[in-house]
C-alpha cells in the first residue's frame, strides 16, 4: 500500500530541513572569511542549503510540531541563537589578533596608519590588518574551516533541534568570552608593548638629563624602529600562539554545547 501523504508528514519533512538550515545559515553568516563581505550572501545561503541537504540524513529526528505554532517559532529562534553563538566563539579568535595589533600599533606610534578592511568595511590599523591576513592564511592552510564545521555539526547530536538551546548559562558564557579576547590580546601584545614602553622610559630619562634634546624628533622614529623589530621577533612564535588559541576556541565551542 502506498504511504498516504498527510499534512503532518509534510510538516515533518519541512521541519527536518528547515531548522538545521537556520542553524547552519546563522553560523555561516557570522564566522570569519565565509561570513564577511568578501563572500556574497547568495553564495553563503547556497552553501548552507547544500550542507543542510548533506547532513540531514545523519542528524537525529526533529520534534513533530505544527509549523505555524508558537513552539515552532521558539525552536527557530533557538537554532538561530545556537548558530550565531557558535559563530561568535569562532569570530572571537580572529578579533583577538585584531585587538593585539591595535594595541601594538598604538603603543609604537602607528595608530594613525590605517587602511580599509575589505572583510568588515571599516578602517583598522595596518598592523591589525597584517595580523588578520596572516591568521586567515594560517586558518585556511591548516584546514581550520573544516574543523570548525566538524565541531559545529557535532552540535546537532549534543544539542538536538528542540525547544532547548544554549540556555542562560550558554548566553552568559558567550558574554564572558569577550574578556578572553582582551586577556589573550594583552598577552600576545605584551612583549612588543613592553619593549616600546622601555624605550619611551629611556628617552624620558634622557630628556630629564639633557632638556635641550628634542624628544619628539628623536624618540618617535627610534620607538617605531624598536616596535618593528619587536614585531619581527614575535612573528617567529606566531604559529604556536595561533595553534594554542585555535585549540582553546574549538574546545570552548565543544564546551558551549554541553552547557545546560
Chain centre to alpha carbon of residue 45: 19
Return d(Cα 21, Cα 193) in angstroms, integer: 44
Q: Which three cell numbers stand for residue 228?
A: 618593528
What would the pLDDT profile of 15-28 be if each residue is shown by its tens digit? 677 888 888 888 88
What would the pLDDT profile of 67-115 be if each residue is shown by its tens digit? 667 777 788 888 888 888 888 888 888 888 888 888 888 877 776 666 6
Supply the pLDDT for residue 213.
67
pTM: 0.79
Are the C-beta atoms of 254 and 152 separated by less than 8 Å? Answer: no
CA-wise closest residue to 92 among 7, 152, 177, 193: 177
Return d(Cα 25, Cα 229) in angstroms, integer: 43
Domain boundaries, the chain: 7-258
Q: How confident is the prediction for the chain on average, in pLDDT?
A: 80
Are the C-beta atoms of 161 and 76 separated by less than 8 Å? Answer: no
Amino acid at each position: 500500500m502506498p504511504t498516504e501523504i498527510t499534512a503532518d508528514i509534510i510538516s515533518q519533512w519541512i521541519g527536518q530541513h528547515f531548522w538545521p538550515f537556520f542553524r547552519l545559515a546563522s553560523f555561516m553568516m557570522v564566522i570569519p572569511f565565509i561570513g564577511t563581505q568578501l563572500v556574497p550572501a547568495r553564495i553563503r545561503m547556497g552553501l548552507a542549503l547544500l550542507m543542510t541537504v548533506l547532513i540531514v540524513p545523519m542528524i537525529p529526528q526533529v520534534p513533530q510540531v505544527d509549523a505555524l505554532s508558537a513552539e515552532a517559532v521558539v525552536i527557530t529562534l533557538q537554532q538561530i541563537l545556537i548558530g550565531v553563538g557558535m559563530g561568535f566563539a569562532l569570530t572571537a579568535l580572529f578579533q583577538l589578533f585584531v585587538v593585539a595589533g591595535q594595541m601594538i600599533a598604538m603603543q609604537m606610534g602607528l595608530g594613525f596608519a590605517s587602511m580599509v578592511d575589505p572583510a568588515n568595511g571599516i578602517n583598522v590599523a595596518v598592523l591589525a590588518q597584517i595580523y588578520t591576513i596572516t591568521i586567515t592564511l594560517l586558518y585556511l592552510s591548516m584546514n581550520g574551516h573544516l574543523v570548525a564545521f566538524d565541531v559545529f555539526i557535532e552540535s546537532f547530536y549534543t544539542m538536538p533541534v528542540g525547544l532547548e538551546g544554549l540556555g542562560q548559562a550558554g548566553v552568559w558564557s558567550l558574554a564572558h568570552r569577550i574578556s578572553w579576547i582582551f586577556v589573550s590580546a594583552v598577552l600576545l601584545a605584551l612583549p612588543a608593548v613592553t619593549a616600546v614602553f622601555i624605550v619611551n622610559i629611556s628617552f624620558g630619562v634622557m630628556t630629564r638629563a639633557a632638556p635641550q634634546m628634542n624628544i619628539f624628533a628623536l624618540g618617535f622614529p627610534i620607538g617605531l624602529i624598536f616596535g618593528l623589530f619587536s614585531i619581527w621577533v614575535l612573528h617567529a612564535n606566531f604559529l604556536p600562539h595561533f595553534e594554542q588559541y585555535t585549540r582553546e576556541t574549538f574546545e570552548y565551542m565543544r564546551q558551549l554545547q554541553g552547557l545546560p
